[in-house]
A and B are shown apart, each in its own frame.
Chain A
């Protein structure tokens, strides 16, 4: 039986390669037709909602009008890009976006790592479980609820935070309407919502460390601090690098919802980021091509950042996303 199979395939070698491929494909199609059918809806979904929009970025080189459609709208080359870089908005939006990203990498990124390191030291399992249960909770609240709570707590007349400010000798003021507090509110609400949840991945990495390492370190007389420095931190560095790379893959994206919800007429100077600008000009203003141009710039720059940092990381730490 085996011999005849081998003979058959051996015989097939003589036939031009294409025919074998076609036969194999037909066999594979016949065998996998139900699998193909199952993946079909997702395939259509990706074409409709991901790939048509990718093709749609071409309208950034057009003066797109919904009435003329994609094929009827005139091409204008780089006109929208030139307008953007000549407008006062480009620097304001890029600066605000980059500063928010920078501050979030500086403050929001290390928070879950520190939290996980502290929590990992807790020996009382019930207390540990309690802290975890409570700290994960804000992750499940909507952005509207989180921003709403901050809004109420900072409200100039009745907000409890104002009571604290007054008690410490300060004066009541509308913190939401002042441009200089926008970044603080943005970053601190992010830390409040995401620190606990973000720690999960680090806690998992910490629990994978071989306990015998600590035992032998203790026998060798290593202090707690030395154990942290030479065992704990090096063990979670790969996880930190991966998370940092993922964070860096959207340096120019700070999340539309939060910035939009925290934005008001009084704080535009610091709260206007690329995504809110795209929304305002593109969707509210109907300036579709212009909005698309800025969106495309953002995606391309993000992608470049990802490739650059991934390459650097692969060279330095041998950890990379691919």
Chain B
């Protein structure tokens, strides 16, 4: 028994390994924030390693006053709120109906039709043409919300969750004169807030981070969400926006500071809600993996 309590070489190696992983994940954020908060002199000299040198906040004044970024921020918030609400609503009602295997007419047809899309899809171009030519939604903000508003795996998670709701309670609700909509609204949903939060966060993060859909469906600069603008500022400014010089209070602000600050501003909301994300998402993954 004494030997098993001794700290072995493996214990040390394991701890070092895991600490290295933690550092490799956190350091980029530390560095990003440090550069964005350092004075121009130090950024240009490129001598920042672990903490801000010559603390200043000028770069955030630029970033938070940049019309492009503000408009993109507003757009992303609109798309995220509207998209999440729509997705959550559709996924909930569809998941609930599909959890009533024996009572939903055409259950097998609808269910197999949904599952099949997980294994085969028309592909990028036919989907694009459907949205653009058949539905006429090119450069329309609905095109970034509707075509991706239902995730099949999310419907399955909801279906699995609702199928565990005690049938007797639903039955008694029906005897008391509630129809299925009433049962869902008055009896099932009040006890399902955790799964609703999980789903809402799933969809909200997806919409906040969406890049591909706005890239192909939007054309007007004033409709672009944050991720598109972020790419323009961080990855393409060297090639295309050469003329843009950032300045505040008579000082020229280095491009790097602006880029890091923009990445940080675009990521801050995700980091702010991260504790909740982590808690609910892990639960969601577990429910989803029970009956894939």
Contact = CB atoms under 8 A, between A and B. Distances in A.
A69 B100 CA distance: 41
Contact of A52 (B105, B134, B212, B271): B134
Given A32-B103, A122-B18, A140 B205 contact: yes
A42 B179 contact: no
B103 A148 contact: no
Contact of B22 (A25, A43, A46, A135): A135
Interface string B41-53: 0010010010000
A131 B149 contact: no
A152 B180 contact: no
Interface in A211-266: 224, 242, 249, 256-257, 261
A56 B134 CA distance: 11
- B interface majority secondary structure: helix
Interface of A: 25, 28-29, 31-32, 34-39, 41-43, 45-46, 48-57, 59, 66, 69, 115, 118-119, 121-122, 127, 130-131, 133-138, 140-145, 147-149, 151-153, 155, 157-158, 160, 163, 192, 195-196, 200-201, 204, 224, 242, 249, 256-257, 261, 275, 278-279, 282-283, 288, 291-292, 295-296, 298-299, 303, 306
Contact of A42 (B119, B155, B235, B286): B155
A131 B18 contact: yes
Interface in B95-119: 96-98, 100, 103-106, 110, 113-114, 117, 119
B278 A136 contact: yes
B13 to A, nearest CB: 9
Contact of B119 (A32, A130, A275, A303): A303
Contact of A134 (B22, B105, B131, B256): B22
Given A28-B105, A144-B230, A283-B125, A46 B212 contact: no
B46 A296 contact: no
Contacts of B90: 41-42, 45
A124 to B, nearest CB: 9
A39 B129 contact: no
